[in-house]
Every structure is written in C-alpha cells, then in structure tokens.
Amino acid sequence: MKTRIAVFVSGGGTNLQALIDFQRDGKLKDGEIVLVISSNPSAYALERAAKADIKSVTVAKKDCATQQEFEEKIISELEENGIEMIVLAGFMSILSADFTRRYEDRIINVHPSLIPSFCGKGMYGLRVHESALSYGVKVTGATVHFVNEIPDGGKIILQKSVRILQSDNAESLQKRVMKLAEWDILPRATQMVAKAIRMEKR
C-alpha cells in the first residue's frame, strides 16, 4: 500500500502543482496525494487539486476560536482520510509542538533558503530573498526538512543551491529559487520519505 499523503496549502499552490506533476509522471512510486488541506478558502491551490481530481478541504484559522480547535479540525480530516504523511507546500500557519510531535518524522516542509541561513520565525516568502540580497550572499537555494516545534528547525532531507545574479531583485530570485530548486527537491524528498514510511509498515 502506498503512503497516503496530505498536502497543506495557503496560496497559489505552485509547489502543490510540482507534486501533482511528479505524481502524474509516475515518479511518486511509494506515495499518493489523497488530500489537500487549505487554510485559505480562496487559495488557487484548491483549483489545482480539483483539476487533478484530489479531494480538498478548507480549515480556516479565523473560523476557529483557538489554535487547539484549528488543529483538532485538521487532525479529524487527517484521520478520516487515513493520512500517514504531511507535506507543507506554502502553508502559512505555524503548527504547535503537540501537532508536530503527533506526526514526528511524518511532516516535511520546503523553505526558500539554504538552512541554517535566512530561516526561523518570521522568515517566509519574499522576506527570505530580501534578506539574502541585502546580506550579499552569492548563492542561495531551497531546503526540504522535517518539521518539528522549532520553525525551520527539523532535520534536513534535501538542499539545492541557486546562484544569485547581479540583476536579481527579491521577486526574480524568488521565481528562480522556486523553479530551479523548490519544484525539484520537494517532490523528490516526498518520494524519499513516503518510501521510508512504506518500508516501516512492512
């Protein structure tokens, strides 16, 4: 049985699309994306899921009184769908230590820098690329890591570097890091972890 995967999203879903394409091409040999959970009811990622015929649900934090209620709703969806692995693909809500412990070594995230550089609390989206440019580094990239209670603090699974060009601004760098690094290593790391989980079940 393939590892049952949920992808958590909040926005456009370009990383979700990379995962869907990887699955469609037969490269996600040990896993299957069976559920997409969005924290945003108007996320374009939900349309991507629909086009790929993948079940999706929205669990909006603003509709929940507490973090606990938010996470309980998510856990309920995960259990109902037999989810064994979670991929965070542009998910803009921090998950509590209780949640990450519950799915230890089962949650992975992609971050748009070479961890431990330009990461941690408050470092997401364009902020990461702005920081890399203002610091003057010549190489940046992306990292896929396991998720624990420390933002961007879990064990690294894969990294890929991207050279910074003199002409780069935060937007152009963000696009290149996504295209050259994130969309490559996130699907590959998903397959690696799905395979490890599948082997564990034997």
CATH number of the domain at 115, please. 3.40.50.170
- What is the C-alpha separation between 139 and 192, in angstroms, rounded? 25
133 close to 173: Cβ distance less than 8 angstroms: yes
Across-strand partners of 165?
Answer: none
Convert the pLDDT of each residue in 131-189 to its tens digit: 999 999 999 999 999 999 998 999 999 999 999 999 999 999 999 999 999 999 999 99
Is 129 tagged catalytic?
no
Using omega within 30 degrees of 0 as the cis cutoff, is the peptide bond preceding 41 cis? no
Give the chain's domain count.
Answer: 1
Distance (Å, rounded) from C-alpha 192 to C-alpha 190? Answer: 5
> How many Å apart are CA 199 and CA 182, to the nearest integer?
26
Residue among 4, 48, 111, 145 flagged as catalytic = 111
Neighbouring C-alpha atoms within 13 Å toward the C-beta of 50: 8
Beta-ladder partners of 158: 144
pLDDT of residue 201: 81
Separation between Cα atoms, residue 177 and residue 117, nearest integer Å: 15
- At 6-58, the pLDDT tens digits run 999 999 999 999 999 999 999 999 999 999 999 999 999 999 999 999 999 99
Note every long-range contact of 26-30, with CB atoms under 8 Å and residues 24 or more positions apart, other chains counting. 27/187, 27/191, 28/187, 28/190, 28/191, 28/194, 29/191, 29/195, 30/2, 30/3, 30/191, 30/194, 30/195, 30/197, 30/198
Contacts of 197 (CB under 8 A, 6+ apart): 3, 30, 31, 84, 85, 106
Write out the residue range of the structural domain in which residue 25 sits: 3-201
- How does pLDDT run across 89-143, given as a tens digit for each residue? 999 988 999 999 999 999 999 999 999 999 998 899 999 999 999 999 999 999 9
pLDDT of 202 reads 78
CA angle 124, 136, 180 (to 5 degrees): 55
DSSP-derived secondary structure letter, 81: T
